[in-house]
Structure 1
Amino acid sequence: MTSTPKKQVHFTPFPQESKDLDADEILRAVPEHRRQNKSLETQMSIKLAARKLWNASASLTGIVFWIAIVQLVSLYLFTSGFLLTRPVFEDVSVCEEPPVENSIAPVSTCWSSNRPFKKTVMIVIDALRYDFVVPSEDNKYYHNSFPVLHEIATARPQNAFLSKFIADPPTTTLQRLKGLTTGSLPTFIDAGSNFAGSRIDEDNWISQLKNANRTVAFVGDDTWTALFRPDFDDEMCYPFDSLNVWDLHTVDNGVISHIFPLLEDSHKWDVAIGHLLGVDHAGHRYGPNHHEMQAKLNQMDQFIRDLVEKIDDDTLLIVMGDHGMDSKGDHGGDTMLELESTLWMYSKRPYFARPQTAGNRTVSQIDLVPTISLLLGLPIPYNSIGFPIAEAFLGAKSNDYKSWAHAAYMTASQINRYRSKFSWSNDDSVLQDLWKSIQASKSDHKKLPQLCEQYARHSLEQFREQWVKFDLNDMYSGIAVILCSAAILVAFVARIRTFETSSVFKNVSAATVLLGGAAYGGAYFTKLVDPLHAAGLGVTVGVLGSSLPMIVRFFSSGGLKVESWWTVLSVVLASVHALSFYSNSFTIWEDGILHHLLVLVGVVFAAASFRLETVKDRTMALWHGAVFAILSRLVSFSRLCREEQGMSCSTTYYGELSSVNSPYALVVLSLLVLILPELIKSFYNTSASYTGSAPIWIGLGLRMGMFLATVYWTLDGVDTYGWDIPLLRGTGLKAIKMMVARTALGAALVAGNYGWYVGALCVRVDVRKDENVAAKVRAAILGYANVYGSYYFLVLINAFVAVIIVTKPLGGMVLAVLLYQILTLAELIQLFDLRSSLFGPVVLGLLGGAYFFSTGHHATLPAIQWEVGFIPVSTITFPFTHLAIAMNTFAPLILTTLAAPLVVLWKIPPNKNPIALQNRVGGIILAVVLYHTFIAANSMVSALVLRRHLMLWKIFAPRYMLAGVTLGACNVVALLTAMASGRVIGYINSLFG
């Protein structure tokens, strides 16, 4: 009997033919007898090695976590000292205690000489910009669509007056409502509470109405109920959800349907308030120059006409906006378009004066508070620093100087009483002289209002100056802590390959918990300092103290050694970016600076390619370097301009209608559905990695995700541009859009990541018979040379699909270019052998910053794309609304931080020392965090140094806030990145180790 010869298996890199096998089959490719011969000791050693690797990965994640906590402490300390709020006094004005004993005119109702109206109807039309209501020869959609206010004011000036209504920044709705009811000024940090309103804890005319037993009816924006709910009548309060900016009609229709029945039952209330949101939402959704805005303004015009017909002679009608909007329909900043709103007051009987300045009259919003308080017969709120509107007190013949002098003197006296609460109030000799002049001119009813107004305006400017105070100790502490975290990061990045991360993590954790807890407990029981401050500093001392030996060894051994000119270039690039924050011009043009730096990176790569040894490497490096530079330049043409850039910048991120998406971007995005997967496939093919799960993820998953994004934004275009598609008529369009978005997000974030986690290697074993030896079989593992990188990159594809859904079409195009540039950078780092250099992390940081601007963002509040929060949900729903906004804002940061491990993992075969590999990856992740720490630290220092700069609150404060939030987001993504890279290394080690 002839015996069959035993087959021999030889592994070769890249065979000509292949046979598909999954990951488990790769294990079965090893001969049976070799697997059975493994001793128990060998198996135990494998398990022990796997446990050590897991501990190293978990410890790296823990180290990133503790550093994130320290940096959070630094931001908290600095912000506590930098973004201060003004003092709020709980004092309440009362009728029995007027600010002066002897008034100018006899007081008949509280502080007022008379109460001219029995009822008041106040209509707030959100974002009613002044040029929306005045005639214009232009043919833009928002012109001449709301003419009723101007028509009545010019035709019957004794019955109505129309004025510009100037808001005080920040122009967020909640802060404007506070100003309109308290008469006080907001501070910069108050803008952040626009989405977390709580009851006003200072005196205001709404609560004064309640104290006077008046009944207040309300309908509209539910922000009012967050501030004044106990002051409204329970049976006449109809709030509507305010933050769904894609809903143009629900709130407005609700106001219109409730306000007229209230007018029919006017005996039940004294003041009725209606707040409509459709104009504001149309601006956010489409921009002001859109036919939907025209339709909404037409609706408001008819609504006011109907109101004018319905009210009686004893009712005062006030129509106003709380702020304006910029050319994109956004607000929150301090451009004139955002600040200029509208004020219109109307009475059926002649009442209002017509001063000579009526043609170009402007009124500050805080001036409404003393005006309406005195008209309603209420005390002026204690914290009010506004001044009455002359037209409301001079009478129909413009000659009631006594009533006007009384209102002016009462207001100035209240401001003087308020000023007395401050220790510095007697330091201003100008105000003291003015007050003496006021007392001496009480009998001169024409001169007295002028002196009172000068006193009020000068006081206002003094308050503005005094309320910009800083706690320098907290600011210095915050900077010191973040510099400590930077020192820790530098030592970790430089020495992480020389120590055991698990022992370092245990030491850091023990010291941090012990010192942090002790500091908090001591502060809590002694009450000497704020417990949160103490705990933060305790945590910092714990992390710094436990890391100190490593830091000392690092700096005593010479510190950061310059291994090559690439390291020098890394420091130069990061420094140029960071130092730009010390100039307002450079900060304004940060987007251009970053794009030029990236072009420089590509040029340097291309120039350095000639130093490589082989023709193939030189060719590939030259190609990738040139492509990197060209793409960086092309992406710079996607931009959103900020006001300070003026005529030197032209916004391209949106279409012609100022805040809507360009249909051309949709066309290009649809083409990228076909192009991008093929481009990524070409990178995988260079290492034979387009196999295994790669065709599923790239050829199918990525393409389907991009297709769903294109479908979503196409449906959005149908709604935006009013395209008539029979199949999409009716109200089902929003439901279809939401279903598409949820499907894509669910597939990317849940199904995609689960599939990746359970094992989605881009490898396969190719087996074929040897043509020369019949009993011999040759096998090769396709994708073996890039087993880490090809597997890990699938995480980026999942993230890309998720963020592209919540990014507008041009932004989606830009992110597709970013994904391609990340692969290009990975190839260049491999070609130049820069896996251990700082250059890769620095370039990733620059890419994240540059693409932040190219996706339609800026370091300004109005640039935040709030509307994307309603892509996956129809109303504000935690955490989905917040997550969508975060993914939209930080999409480039998410992708570039997730890409950090590719610096080490791209195009390397399985490593025999996985713990060392994990440490190298950890060093790169921490280097990316270090870059953003460096940027945040410099933004903090610039805000401190330039705290008296004229542009502090317009430029430097928002840039610091962006840097702080970006650093926090980077730490969160870095944690996820550490876990994902640990999974990749551990899983591959279990198969090939």
Structure 2
Amino acid sequence: MVVARLCFAYRKYHSTLGIVLIVATVIGILLFAKGFLHVRRLVEDRSECGSLPVMPLFSTAGPLEDFCWLPVKRRRFVIVVIDALRIDFALPSKPGIEKDAAWFDKLQILYELVQNGSAKLFHFVADPPTATTQRLSSIAAGSLPAFVEMAANFAESSLGADSLVHQLLQTERHSRLDMYGDDTWLSLFPIIKEQSKGKIAGYHSFHLFDLHTVDNGIKEHIFPALDKNEFDVIIAHFLGFDHCGHKFGPKMPACGEKLGEMDQVLRRIIDGLKDDTTLIVLGDHGMTDNGDHGGISSKEVGSVLFTYGKGSGVEQDSLFWRAFNTRAETARRDLLNLDGTFFFDESNEKAVLSGSVSQIDFTPTFALLAGISIPYGNVGTIIPEILVDHGLYSTMQDARSRNLKKLVDAARINSYQIARFLKRCQDLGESNFDPSSLAPLDKKLQYAELLVAKKEAMSEEELEEAFFAFYDFLLSSQKYCRRIWADFDLKLIYGGLALAIVSVVAMLIPIIWNSISFSSIFAIALSSFHTLALGSVAYVTFEDSVVRFLLSSVIAQDALVSFFEGSMNRKRFSRTLTALLLVRLTSYTGACREEQFPFCQVIVHRSQPWQLSVEVLLSLSMGIVGLFWIFKRCHASLGEARESIVSLVGHFLYFGILTLLGTHWVWTWISETRDLEGGAPERELDQMMEIIVPRALFILCATAAILFRKSSALFFVAVAALVGTVLRPFGGWVLVVAGFALLRLGIPLFAGRPSPVVALFYYLAGMHLFFISGHQATITNLQWEAAFIGFRSTIQAVAGTLMGLNTFGGPALAAIAISIHAEKKPKNAMDTYSAYIWFHLAPLVSSAVSSAVLLRHLMLWKMFTPRFMMQALSCVVCFTVIFLMHISQKNSGDRSKQPA
């Protein structure tokens, strides 16, 4: 009797219970994310020239128009940013190695000057995410980024924190700031346009594969500016090499040529420098061997910092300073572990390097070098090798003494500046900044201060010890900030996980209850395997192959069930075979994770047209034949229209969509393999193909989706073509053609099957489309160029939408397909949706659990966190699509019931 009542109650309230469990799971994940993905509060305080954190001990104060916190000798600065300049691109190759890349020994000027003893070259280690906006923000403000700040790469808003740019422009002696190149600087620092008295020439490279527009624009301005010598600071941000890496990959000859061009540009700049000018060359990040960046790998974070001052004199007492610099480098290595990113040991000479420094260390170093205030929120550490003045002194002892006193003052001011910032964070109530947590750092600062108590009678040895005491505080503070800003709220993490796990397990009970069969148990078992295995590094690495295997298993299992049921006929057999072939043949396209090499060989966007392999020809043939087949299916659907005018408009509309789409793919593929500086006619053709054609496709696809929303096939083709427009060519036509065929085949193949089987097929199909369209669960594999398709400038909302379509178009199409499938059997629709939602939420919870268990694992931020974020965003996209499709179908059904 009790069991019967429970069954009755369950049947009556199971829909409500399912919704409650879904909401509980989502709340649990949100609590976990809040505790796991830390977001810091922005400190908007600014340093002031006349308000020092501490008065210098050995340096005399001077007029504010000459310098702020420490006296300086250098008057002008030329800062050259070469986007994506990886450290080994600037180092000489080792003799006898196999030079399998075109970039070897193309950028020689930097290490030539270092070998002459007149420059410094550092391994410049960036923090992830290695995207340009985040890197420029950190370099200018000296702040550590949050891992979840990637979306800001498309932000138009300015940097609210104090920065080097603000400090430069608040002093009259640096008011003539010239800015040439990437206009990301102007978006981050609008104060440049508002207050600078210098020349501004910002270029927006709306096409990621444009190698020359920005660089040529810089060259038109920087050399005349050097000749006139009327600037205070020049910032020149070259983009061509980064675009070349995205387009060809760094090993291709075009990238070697681009580095050679940068070498010639730097030689001309050096020839034009005056004796009072310092040249600084830096890279904002590196790049992988595919030319991508954004992640945490050693090749992405390892960049270049180079400093050179013409007429700086000859280094005095090199033996003393070599030992001093070695001690500084050892301190950095021990506390910050920056040498863990030496990936170039076997290929390049490291002897020319002065060491490794964190990218944020540039901020206080340049501030004191230029005579401006250190930005308020800086947590970077001065680089003593750069601040030492190697000019000519009367004696070597005089040189050592003056430089040591200068370094002590610099380190002491830097220390008190950071201590002031930490105290401000404490006042704001930031976690882990309470007095007890900061006590060890306070003791280090107090100890260093004791060493300089008797400043008048300090020997060189005492000065050196005092400097390294302050240096220890600086490095320890940076290490502490890195740790706590990558720290976690364990209560939120484990509380949220407990709620999510209980809810997602409870969700499984009604799914099994509503459909107890061999097929359902098989589907749930496959999904459970997929879910539980997400804690394995090897599984996440090769998840694309495993998803392909699981998808094929679902299709094959359905065929086996059909055979034993006696429902296997010739038509069903051909559909099953076609589906299996589609899954297999589409594996030729996609993207490779760094960890998959050398076991991953797929067609990528850089496949050369003169290197036509069997796979490329097969993919091209499938794309061409598939577009004709899709148009034939559209023709059949349009033939059912009652009004001839609707059919005629539809034929023109879909013929135009498919023709423009194919043209767009072919043009993009060809343009990616050429490196031309065309004249006006070619530029006009480029503009038409890169701006007008994509916009026309957006309009036509949206129009077709609205007009023919009641026809499942026509609506699906319109949306698929919209997604295909923002994808790279091979990924695009595989997604549109194979995706349309595979998802449409699922409707007759799985008609009448249990809800878990239907849901698992569409979930795995969406994941498969995600992988074959050129994506992986890594930041490195994000296709950044999608944000610029059809537009000249970056509009945050538009760029984010295009990136979302590009990245999650495959799962979104699968969500549309399962909505169409569920519409055909409305009685089972809610059961199908429930199972589909569970197949999304279970891996999401599993990814969260894996991240929580592996909080200090080496691969946490490189592998498990991106996998969690990808699954979370996929859930948001797919659930939104299902909700909108369900509402649309319900409204259509309500309208059809109304009397004519």
User: What is the CA distance between 1:314 and its match in structure 2?
Assistant: 0.8
Alignment match of 2:368 (pick from 374, 377, 382): 374
Contact persistence 1:668–1:813 (CA under 8 A): no
Distance 1:238 1:822, change over 3 A: same
User: 1:298-313 alignment to 2 at 5 Å?
Assistant: 298-313=260-275
Please give the alpha-carbon distance, in whole angstroms, between the structure 2 residues aligned to 1:690 and 1:112: 75
2:556 is matched with which residue?
603
User: 1:18-167 alignment to 2 at 5 Å?
Assistant: 77-86=31-40, 89-90=43-44, 92-94=46-48, 98=52, 103=57, 114-136=71-93, 138=99, 140-154=101-115, 156-158=116-118, 160-167=119-126
State the AA in 2 paired with 1:467.
W
Distance 1:715 1:842, change over 3 A: same
State the AA in 2 paired with 1:596.
F
Alignment match of 1:344 (pick from 297, 300, 306): 306
Distance 1:138 1:929, change over 3 A: same
Q: Does 1:928 align with 2:836?
A: yes
Distance 1:459 1:407, change over 3 A: farther
Q: Does 1:218 align with 2:178?
A: yes
Larger radius of gyration: 1
Q: Deviations over 1:886-923 (max 9, x none)?
A: 222112112111111343456xxxxxxxxxx5453354
Q: Deviations over 1:655-692 (max 9, x none)?
A: 457x999897775455335533676699999xx98952
RMSD: 4.2
Contact persistence 1:104–1:406 (CA under 8 A): yes
Please give the alpha-carbon distance, in whole angstroms, between the structure 2 residues aligned to 1:933 and 1:128: 40
Q: Deviations over 1:207-249 (max 9, x none)?
A: 3333443314132323223333336634425252546224433
Please give the alpha-carbon distance, in whole angstroms, between the structure 2 residues aligned to 1:978 and 1:856: 29
Q: Deviations over 1:697-741 (max 9, x none)?
A: 999876664443232122223323239999996223323313333
The percent identity for this pair of structures is 27
Alignment match of 1:360 (pick from 350, 353, 357): 353
1:459 is matched with which residue?
477
Q: Does 1:236 align with 2:195?
A: no
Contact persistence 2:70–2:410 (CA under 8 A): no
Distance 1:691 1:377, change over 3 A: closer
Contact persistence 1:183–1:368 (CA under 8 A): yes
Q: Deviations over 1:495-525 (max 9, x none)?
A: xxxxxxxxxxxxxxxxxxxxxxxxxxxxxxx
1:675 is matched with which residue?
625
Distance 1:674 1:701, change over 3 A: farther
2:3 is matched with which residue?
none
Q: Does 1:283 align with 2:245?
A: yes
Distance 1:692 1:459, change over 3 A: same
1:763 is matched with which residue?
none
Contact persistence 2:139–2:362 (CA under 8 A): yes
Contact persistence 2:156–2:795 (CA under 8 A): no
Q: Does 1:409 align with 2:408?
A: yes
Q: Deviations over 1:266-293 (max 9, x none)?
A: 44x4322222222223323333344543
Please give the alpha-carbon distance, in whole angstroms, between the structure 2 residues aligned to 1:476 and 1:638: 39
2:640 is matched with which residue?
692
Alignment match of 1:636 (pick from 587, 595, 612): 587
Distance 1:845 1:433, change over 3 A: same
Please give the alpha-carbon distance, in whole angstroms, between the structure 1 residues aligned to 2:17 and 2:811: 20
Task: Tell me the SS of whatever aligns to 2:794.
Answer: coil
1:958 is matched with which residue?
866
Distance 1:740 1:376, change over 3 A: closer
State the AA in 2 paired with 1:964.
A
Contact persistence 1:243–1:876 (CA under 8 A): no
Please give the alpha-carbon distance, in whole angstroms, between the structure 1 residues aligned to 2:728 and 2:613: 11
Please give the alpha-carbon distance, in whole angstroms, between the structure 1 residues aligned to 2:611 and 2:696: 22
User: What is the CA distance between 1:859 and its match in structure 2?
Assistant: 1.6
Q: Deviations over 1:830-873 (max 9, x none)?
A: 3xx31x52211121011111221221111222211121233322
Contact persistence 1:600–1:629 (CA under 8 A): no
Task: Tell me the SS of whatever aligns to 1:341.
Answer: strand
User: What is the CA distance between 1:969 and its match in structure 2?
Assistant: 0.8
Please give the alpha-carbon distance, in whole angstroms, between the structure 2 residues aligned to 1:901 and 1:115: 68
State the AA in 2 paired with 1:287.
G
State the AA in 2 paired with 1:838.
P
Please give the alpha-carbon distance, in whole angstroms, between the structure 2 residues aligned to 1:723 and 1:453: 48
Alignment match of 2:720 (pick from 800, 808, 811): 800
User: What is the CA distance between 1:611 and its match in structure 2?
Assistant: 0.8
Please give the alpha-carbon distance, in whole angstroms, between the structure 2 residues aligned to 1:597 and 1:656: 29
Q: Does 1:470 align with 2:432?
A: no
2:731 is matched with which residue?
811
Task: Tell me the SS of whatever aligns to 1:120.
Answer: strand
State the AA in 1 paired with 2:117.
P
User: What is the CA distance between 1:346 and its match in structure 2?
Assistant: 1.8
User: 1:674-823 alignment to 2 at 5 Å?
Assistant: 675-676=625-626, 692=640, 705-722=657-674, 730-737=682-689, 738-750=691-703, 752-757=704-709, 791-815=711-735, 816-823=737-744
Distance 1:77 1:886, change over 3 A: same
Contact persistence 2:705–2:715 (CA under 8 A): yes
Q: Does 1:390 align with 2:402?
A: no
Contact persistence 2:47–2:375 (CA under 8 A): yes
Task: Tell me the SS of whatever aligns to 1:899.
Answer: helix
Q: Deviations over 1:459-481 (max 9, x none)?
A: 33222222223334554675577
Please give the alpha-carbon distance, in whole angstroms, between the structure 1 residues aligned to 2:520 and 2:757: 6
Distance 1:725 1:337, change over 3 A: closer
For structure 1, the 5+ residue unaligned runs are 1-60, 495-558, 760-790, 907-916
Please give the alpha-carbon distance, in whole angstroms, between the structure 1 residues aligned to 2:199 and 2:610: 35
State the AA in 1 paired with 2:79.
M
User: What is the CA distance between 1:619 and its match in structure 2?
Assistant: 4.4
Task: Tell me the SS of whatever aligns to 2:133.
Answer: helix
2:331 is matched with which residue?
none
Contact persistence 1:841–1:928 (CA under 8 A): yes
Please give the alpha-carbon distance, in whole angstroms, between the structure 2 residues aligned to 1:663 and 1:717: 15
Please give the alpha-carbon distance, in whole angstroms, between the structure 1 residues aligned to 2:473 and 2:664: 57
Q: Does 1:175 align with 2:186?
A: no
- Please give the TM-score of this superposition, normalised by the length of structure 2: 0.79
Contact persistence 1:352–1:396 (CA under 8 A): yes
Aligned length: 813
User: 1:899-910 alignment to 2 at 5 Å?
Assistant: 899-904=817-822
Contact persistence 2:444–2:469 (CA under 8 A): no
Please give the alpha-carbon distance, in whole angstroms, between the structure 1 residues aligned to 2:303 and 2:153: 19
Q: Deviations over 1:622-646 (max 9, x none)?
A: 4444443443333334332222334
2:434 is matched with which residue?
423
Contact persistence 2:158–2:188 (CA under 8 A): yes
Please give the alpha-carbon distance, in whole angstroms, between the structure 1 residues aligned to 2:40 and 2:523: 42
Contact persistence 2:384–2:407 (CA under 8 A): no
Task: Tell me the SS of whatever aligns to 1:721.
Answer: coil
State the AA in 1 paired with 2:671.
D
Q: Deviations over 1:241-269 (max 9, x none)?
A: 546224433333333333344435544x4
Contact persistence 1:92–1:381 (CA under 8 A): yes
Q: Deviations over 1:443-469 (max 9, x none)?
A: 314555555444433333222222223
For structure 2, the 5+ residue unaligned runs are 1-14, 327-350, 424-432, 453-457
Distance 1:484 1:662, change over 3 A: farther
1:574 is matched with which residue?
527
User: What is the CA distance between 1:974 and its match in structure 2?
Assistant: 1.2
